[in-house]
Structures are given as structure tokens and as C-alpha cells.
Structure 1
Amino acid sequence: MSKPFDMELFMSGVLTGSRATRKRHLRQATLIQSEIAGRWQRETPWAWQRKHLVWFLEHRLDRHSRMTRYYYFLTVRLLVRRLQKTWVFNL
């Protein structure tokens, strides 16, 4: 049996700011992970491609407010930085 992926450990290298901000990014990253795992069966961020994050930003957040989409966009930027990719996203 494999251990569940620890998003907090994964994100620990790029999380900065206040405690509330770090908790928000962790909560949002965990939600992003679960949505992508449910749609494409990609359990860890290491298996993600740019299209997975684009899908999340465009299709899972389409009915949310502009500010909510922006905060998720910031979390996606942190995920990309942690993955050491050069992916660029448009708001």
C-alpha cells in the first residue's frame, strides 16, 4: 500500500507569507490535486502536464468570482515554481 501524497511537504519549499496565506495555498493546492486526480488519474504533481492546470483554471473555476480565480492562479504559479517548469498561464 502506498502512502498518500503529502502536498504540505511538496509545497514547503515555495510557501512564504503569513500563516493564513500558507494555509490558503495548501488548501487550494490540495483541491487542485484532487480535481486533477479525479479527472486524469494523475495522483502527484510530478505527473501533471500544463494542460491539466489549464483545464482546472478554465473549466473548474469558470463559475467562480474573478478574485477566486486570481487566488487559484497564484497557487498554480507556486506549483509551477515548485515543479521547476517554465509554463506560462493567461488569466
Structure 2
Amino acid sequence: MSKPFEMELFLAGVMTGSHATRQRHLRQAKAIQAAISERWYRENPWTWQQKHLAWFLEYKLKSSKKPTRYYYLLSAKLIARRLGKSWEL
């Protein structure tokens, strides 16, 4: 039995800002992880590709308001930075 992926440890090195901002990024990263895991069965962000984050931002947030999409975009960019990728999202 494998352990669940710890998103908090994954993002710990790149998260900055206030406690509330860090909590928001963490909450949104977990939502992104859950959606990608459900759709592509990829639990671990190290296995994600650009298309996975782009899919989440385009299709899962389609009916969300602009500020919500913007904040999720910031969290997705944080994940990409942690992965060491220069993806244009």
C-alpha cells in the first residue's frame, strides 16, 4: 500500500506570502490534483504534463468567474515552477 502524495511538502519550497495565501494555494493545488487524478489517474505531479494543467484551467474552471480562474492560474504556475517547467499556461 502506497502513501498518498503530500501536496503540502511538494509546494513547501516555492510557496511564499501570507498564511492565507499559502493555504489558498495548497487548497487549490489539492483540487487540481484531485481533478487530474480522477481524469487521468495521475496522483503524482511529477508525472503531469502541461496538457493536464491546461485541461484543468480550461475545462474544469469554464463556468468559474474571472478572479477564481486567475487564482487557480497562479496556483498552477506555482506547481509548474516547483516541477522546474517553463510552461505557458
TM-score by length of 1: 0.97
Q: 1:38-79: per-residue Cα shift (whole Å, max 9, x none)?
A: 000001100100000010000000000000000000000100
Structure 2 gap segments, 5+ residues each: none
Match of 1:45 in 2: 45
Instruction: Tell me, in whole angstroms, the C-alpha distance in 2 between the residues paired with 1:34 and 1:7.
Output: 11
Aligned residues: 89
Identity level (%): 61
Q: List structure 1 runs of 4+ shifted beyond 4 angstroms.
A: none
TM-score by length of 2: 0.99
Match of 1:8 in 2: 8
Instruction: Tell me, in whole angstroms, the C-alpha distance in 2 between the residues paired with 1:7 and 1:43.
Output: 10
Match of 1:63 in 2: 63
Match of 1:32 in 2: 32
Instruction: Tell me, in whole angstroms, the C-alpha distance in 1 between the residues paired with 2:88 and 2:63.
Output: 22
